[in-house]
Amino acid sequence: MRKNIKKHIKPVRLDGLPADMRHELKEARRKRGWSQAELGRRASLPQMHISGIESGKIVPRFDTLLDLVRVLDYDLLMVPRSLAPVLQSLIRDHRNPDRQRDEGERSLYAAEDGETRGQAHDEI
């Protein structure tokens, strides 16, 4: 029976982390004023590995990615796809608290400037 299960599971290897995730990691590091070497020291990784992850040349293992985001005081969450637009809206409002006051009320599902509905849904 086990042999049949393995036959249907296809190993998938990413070419790289999604660009948005790499950007978020880099921005979180910079926001703390840390160099790549400092983040590497805190996550027990060489600076070259941090550079490779941020540039997309290296795909970190899942446990390495968890270590990085936790050192940066973030977390990875698995959420139902149907809730992704709501979470993205909350994150957007958290990042831009003054923007909401200037524009008045916005729909939770409103896209950012230049963002299409499909893009907003697939980001998280």
- Measured at the CA of 79, the angle between CA 82 and CA 21, to 5 degrees, comes to 105
Same domain, 95 and 111: yes
Residue with tokens 């040349």: 57
pLDDT digits (tens, 9 = 90+) for 66-111: 999 999 999 888 889 899 889 888 888 887 877 655 555 555 555 5
**Which CATH number does the domain housing residue 64 bear?**
1.10.260.40
Same domain, 67 and 95: no
Same domain, 35 and 90: no
Note down the domain range covering 110. 81-122
pTM exceeds cut of 0.85? no
Same domain, 99 and 67: no
Same domain, 86 and 28: no
Our count of domains for the chain comes to 2
pLDDT digits (tens, 9 = 90+) for 16-66: 788 989 999 999 999 999 999 999 999 999 999 999 999 999 999 999 999
Residue type, 114: G
Same domain, 68 and 117: no
Q: What pLDDT is recorded for position 93?
A: 85
| Overall residue count recorded for the chain in this entry | 124
Same domain, 103 and 117: yes
Residue type, 46: P
